[in-house]
Amino acid sequence: MPALNIRARGVATNDTGRFERFETVPCEDGWDPGDDLPPLRTEVREEVARSVITYNRSPDLPFDRSINPYRGCEHGCVYCFARPTHAYLGLSPGLDFETRLIARPNAADVLRKELSSTRYKVATIAMGTNTDPYQPVEKSQLITRSCLSILQEFRHPVAIVTKGAMIERDLDILAPMAQLGLVRVGISLTTLDPDLSRRMEPRAPSPLRRLATIRRLIEAGVPVRVMTSPLIPGLTDHELENLLEAGRDAGADSASWIMLRLPREVSDLWQAWLQDHEPARAEKIMSKLREMHGGRDYDPRWGHRMRGEGEYAGLVAKRFKLAVKRLGLATKTPSLRCDLFSKPAQAGDQLNLF
């Protein structure tokens, strides 16, 4: 069976999505290519968005609406809980998720229409909840930046989660918004070990680069939360206090944590990665995860899915609580301002008489 050149990719397989009737598998055709296959390239397709604000009613999320400029994520984080969403597109949660991306170039125009609706009620919009808004493709697509420009125009509050250093490019938008209390950023920091990070998150910025991004945002007046997410038992859990301290030293004023989540196909992809990269720890890691989820790889129940339950989960929660208290990091932050929201005048609007 031919081997794909998957250098700098998070997973090594591309199993067919769970909704497909037929399975596609590579096979030897008898021809010897003679040379190694070229690296697997990233493919970007465009989608015409009909709506961009997605609403949720999850009681364990601090927001009820979000924007995702892209489907799929080139960062290639093996543990990404969003991988199963690619199956809804007829694609694989494996390599397809990080190599076959969907961009939504008209997202900003649609966002303007949605915010201008007379039925729209303002509340903080989250960006980066499913895939990273500052993944490499954003450099050429500029969709995240376009959406931020609209939010700035409407004075709309936004909370951004990212690993991407490219967010520094948009400080000309984010800094003025921060002065008005309209933006907060969360930087995900999973490990301080550059080798482990490169293997788990092959196309994401290094830990030191993410810390530099925190510093740059803070210097520009943008508040930052350090997110020790996901925390992996038996692999990165021993770094919890060091991660929080590094984030604090870089300037972060608050912190959060989430345990590793393995929904649907992510579990198989993660376990295959463990066998390839950390075989000696694989059994211990999976044992701890199952201990927190009632014997299963993952428990999707609200209130349990983010952190699990049981003795180990409780111990991690206590460690986090003690660490943030010692370091002076907040776990709750002031709400972003919604009272400044205003719909800018559009061509054809009736002028105010006064």
- At 6, the pLDDT band (50, 70, 90 cuts) reads confident
Q: What does the pLDDT look like over 324-342, one tens digit per residue?
A: 999 999 999 999 999 999 9
- At 303, the pLDDT band (50, 70, 90 cuts) reads confident
The answer to whether 189 touches 164, Cβ cutoff 8 Å, is no
Considering the chain, what is the average pLDDT of its residues? Answer: 93
The phi and psi torsions of 204 (rounded to 5 degrees) equal -95, 155
Pairing of strands 100-103, 43-46: parallel
The helix/strand/coil state of 286 is: helix
Which residues are CB-contacts of 61 (< 8 A; sequence separation ≥ 6)? none
The answer to whether 75 touches 83, Cβ cutoff 8 Å, is no
Q: If phi over 0 gives left and psi between -120 and 50 gives alpha, with beta otherwise, what is residue 243?
A: alpha
Tell whether the model's pLDDT for residue 308 goes beyond 70.
Answer: yes
Q: What does the pLDDT look like over 250-297, one tens digit per residue?
A: 999 999 999 999 999 999 999 999 999 999 999 999 999 999 999 999
Determine the pLDDT at residue 23.
Answer: 75
Rounding to the nearest 10 degrees, give the CA dihedral for residues 87, 92, 93, 99: -120
Mean pLDDT for 154-158 is 98
Determine the pLDDT at residue 334.
Answer: 93
Task: Give me the residues paired with residue 255 across strands.
Answer: 226
Measured CA to CA, the distance from residue 255 to residue 228 in angstroms comes to: 8
The phi and psi torsions of 20 (rounded to 5 degrees) equal -85, 145
**Least confident segment among 15-19, 33-37, 258-262:** 33-37
Q: What does the pLDDT look like over 169-187, one tens digit per residue?
A: 999 999 999 999 999 999 9
Q: Provide the token pair at 348.
A: 């054809």
The helix/strand/coil state of 162 is: strand
- The model carries a pTM of 0.92
**70 C-beta neighbours (distance < 10 Å), count:** 24
Determine the pLDDT at residue 350.
Answer: 60
Q: What does the pLDDT look like over 109-137, one tens digit per residue?
A: 999 999 999 999 999 999 999 999 999 99
The class of domain 43-327 in CATH terms is alpha beta
Measured CA to CA, the distance from residue 340 to residue 182 in angstroms comes to: 9
Using CA atoms, how far residue 52 sits from 59, 66, 106, 110, 158, in Å, is: 21, 8, 9, 7, 14
The answer to whether 151 touches 142, Cβ cutoff 8 Å, is no
Pairing of strands 70-71, 100-103: antiparallel
How do the domains of the chain map onto residue ranges? 43-327
Using CA atoms, how far residue 166 sits from 13, 170, 174, 265, in Å, is: 28, 8, 12, 29
Using CA atoms, how far residue 200 sits from 77, 123, 279, in Å, is: 6, 34, 14
Q: What does the pLDDT look like over 91-101, one tens digit per residue?
A: 999 999 999 99
Measured CA to CA, the distance from residue 107 to residue 123 in angstroms comes to: 19
Determine the pLDDT at residue 49.
Answer: 95
The answer to whether 83 touches 100, Cβ cutoff 8 Å, is no
Mean pLDDT for 216-240 is 98
